[in-house]
Amino acid sequence: MHPRVIFVGGVSRSGTTLLHRLLGQLPDVVSLGEVCNLWDSGLKNGDLCTCGELISSCVFWKEIGERAFGGWGAIDLHEMQRLRGAIDRVRFLPALLKGKRSGVIPKTAAAYASYYARIYTAALEVSGARVVVDSSKRAPLACCLGMYADVDMKLVHIIRDSRGVAYSCTKNVLRVDSVRGATLGTASPMDTSINWIVQNLALEILGRKGVSTRMLTYERLIDDPVGVLREVMSFAGLSGDESVMGFLSDDHAVLDTGHSIGGNPMRAQTGRVSLRLDDAWRTQLPPADRLLVSALTYPLLRRYSRG
Write the pLDDT tens digit of every residue in 63-97: 999 999 999 999 998 899 999 999 999 999 999 99
Q: Over the chain, what is the mean pLDDT?
A: 92
> Which pLDDT does position 168 carry in this prediction?
95
Distance CA 67, CA 295 (A): 49
Q: What is the pLDDT of residue 186?
A: 87
* Region of 237 on the Ramachandran plot (φ > 0 left; ψ -120 to 50 alpha; else beta): left
* Cβ contact 158:19 at 8 Å: yes
Does the pLDDT value for residue 274 go beyond 80?
yes
Instruction: Report how far residue 159's alpha carbon sits from residue 63's, in angstroms, rounded to the nearest whole number.
Output: 34
Q: Is the pLDDT of residue 170 over 60?
A: yes
Mean pLDDT of 180-205: 89
Average pLDDT over residues 161-172: 95
Q: Which tens digit of pLDDT belongs to each residue from 95-141?
A: 999 988 889 999 999 999 999 999 999 999 999 999 999 999 999 99
Q: Model confidence over 195-253: pLDDT tens digits?
A: 999 999 999 999 999 999 999 999 999 999 999 999 999 999 998 777 788 999 999 99
pLDDT at 306: 64
188 band by pLDDT with thresholds 50, 70 and 90: very high
Q: What is the model's pLDDT at position 265?
A: 75
Q: Which residues are CB-neighbours of 247 under 8 A, at least 6 positions away?
A: 25, 253, 254, 255
Produce one character per residue of 48-61: b if its CB has 16 or more CB atoms within 10 Å, e if not: bbbbeebbbebebb
Strand 213-217 with 152-159, pairing? parallel
What would the CATH number be for the domain defined by 4-304?
3.40.50
Give the ranges where the chain is alpha helix by DSSP (H). 16-23, 59-69, 77-87, 93-98, 104-127, 139-148, 162-168, 189-208, 218-223, 225-236, 281-284, 287-304
Strands laid side by side in the 131-137 sheet: 29-31, 131-137, 4-9, 152-159, 213-217
Q: In 3-state terms, what secondary structure has residue 245?
A: coil
**The pLDDT of residue 182:** 62
**What is the pLDDT at residue 12?**
92
Phi first, then psi, for residue 24 (nearest 5°) are -65, -15
Q: For the packed helices 287-304 and 189-208, what is the interaxial angle rounded to 10 degrees?
A: 10
Q: What is the pTM of this model?
A: 0.95
Instruction: From 130, 173, 137, 174, select the one nearest 152 (Cα to Cα).
Output: 130
- CA 43/CA 54 separation, integer angstroms: 9
Residue 15 pLDDT grade (very low, low, confident, very high; cuts 50, 70, 90): very high
Cα separation, 43 vs 72, whole angstroms: 8
What residues does each domain of the chain span? 4-304
